[in-house]
Amino acid sequence: MRQNNMVAMILAGGRGSRLLDLTKKVAKPAVHYGGKYRIIDFPLSNCANSGINVVGVLTQYESVLLNSYVAKDEYWGLDAKDSGVFVLPPREKDTGLGWYRGTADAITQNLDFLDQMEAEYVLILSGDHIYKMDYSKMLACHKANNADATIAVLEVPMKEASRFGIMNTDADDVIVEFEEKPAKPKSNLASMGIYIFDYKTLRKYLLADEKTEQSNHDFGKDIIPAFLNDGKKLMAYRFKGYWKDVGTIDSLWEANMDLLDPNNSLQLMDSKWKIFTEDVGGAPQFIGDEAVVNKSIITQGCIVEGTVKNSVLFTGVKVEKGATVVDSVIMTDSVIRSGATVTRAIVGEDVEVLEDAVVGDKESAEIVLAAKKKVK
């Protein structure tokens, strides 16, 4: 059922190089999170739950896995006749091969797609943020204020504000100024990288930006300032709730640990706003006779015969008898052999932690990443 004429465009081309080996062969949006998800399941499920029918996903870095994953639009229920998830990697054009030079350029190069979809509004999203948000409410706010663009903002602690793109607003939440990582922030409203534009207006600005030589072709650096310069109406849309940009091994670990707090605000169990993901076959979850399991998240296909505390186990993980996993994240299909101990670590996908191996350390400041095929 076609519900509105807003087309979502998810920027999913980035590597996320601070995730080290986790993003060696897959782009950051395809990184696993929360036991059974990939990060991009969050914006995609938000779209599905917000009644958006058409989603374009702009991929670039190591895109084979990501392209084939998001193309399965039935995972998110976006497979009705008039909906779909469209994979939009860079393509060869009569002007040559068009690598995406920036966030705005990625959209500019797909204006033909947006034209074809008869978009009235365009929603720009990041493929690597974890949160739940009803974009239809944001669109309602955009329309009610007759805005040219609406930007979702999050209140961050003032002392951290200098790490973000900060929106300075008037009393009605109309944006008067945008500062990228200001040394002396005037407000604590951080841009979440979520924008709604009137498509016609955006189209004009993108075409102009394309011709500007010194532009970075970036929404934050170029497009938003250009809108402000021309006196366009930009609204701030305040978001409250869980939001996390998992840029580093530490923050990815933290985001997983956040789920172990029974009062965490992401509420993955909420049946009214489910996060949809790949439907994997395989066995149920077996907990052995001598297992110890507490304060943990464990999913289908896991076999636990050892001790698992304060940890997140992904699909198909095995923890053998006598193995101990504490304060850790074990990704899909990895095996922790008997006698091994994993503490304050992320164990990547398909990794075998060999017998009696010791990974990580209770006292370490940083989280250890174990991503080799075999870990001694």
Partner 1 sequence: MCDALGIINFEGNSIDLNEMTQFRPLSAVSILGRYRVIDFVLSNMTNSGIDHIQVYIKNKPRSLIEHLGTGRHYNINSKQGKLHILYGEEEVTSSIYNTDIAQFMQNMQYIEESDEEYVVMAPSYMIYRADYNEILEEHIKSNADISVLYKAVDDAKDEYWACDTLTMDRDHRISEIVKNNGKFKNRNISLEAYILSKKLFIELVKKAAKTSSIFWFKDILAESCDELVIKGVSLRGYLGCINYLGGYYKVNMELKNYEIAKELFKDDWPIHTKTNDSAPTYFSEDAKVQGSVIANGCVIEGEVINSVIGRNVKIKKGSIVKNSIILPEAYIGNDVNLDTAIVDKHAVVNKVKGLKGDNPKLPVYVKRRDNI
Residues that bind partner 1 (CB under 8 A): 34-36, 262, 268-269, 271, 274-277, 279, 281-300, 303, 312
Nearest Cα residue to 298 out of 265, 330, 269: 330
* Minimum distance, C-beta of residue 112 to partner 1, in the bound complex (Å): 31
User: In angstroms, rounded to a whole number, what is the distance separating the alpha carbons of residues 180 and 178?
Assistant: 7
Q: How far is the CB of 67 from partner 1 (least distance, A)?
A: 22
3-state secondary structure of 41: helix
At 218, which amino acid appears? D
The least distance separating partner 1 from the CB of residue 311, rounded to whole angstroms, comes to 10
Cα(99)–Cα(107) distance, integer angstroms: 12
Nearer Cβ to partner 1 (216/310)? 310
Beta bridge partners of 294: 309
Taking the least distance from each CB to partner 1, the nearer of 35 and 185 is 35
Our CB check for partner 1 shows the closer of 118 and 270 to be: 270
Question: What distance in Å separates the CA atoms of residue 228 and residue 221, rounded to the nearest whole number?
Answer: 12
The one-letter amino acid at 100: Y
The answer to whether residues 276 and 77 touch, using CB atoms and an 8 Å cutoff, is yes
**Contact 351/373 with Cβ under 8 angstroms?**
yes
Q: Which is nearer to partner 1, 247 or 288 (CB)?
A: 288
Q: How far is the CB of 322 from partner 1 (least distance, A)?
A: 15
Write out the two tokens for 11.
Answer: 């920027």
Shortest Å, Cβ 201 to partner 1 = 37
Specify the residue, 45 or 191, whose C-beta has the smaller distance to partner 1.
Answer: 45
Residue type, 293: V
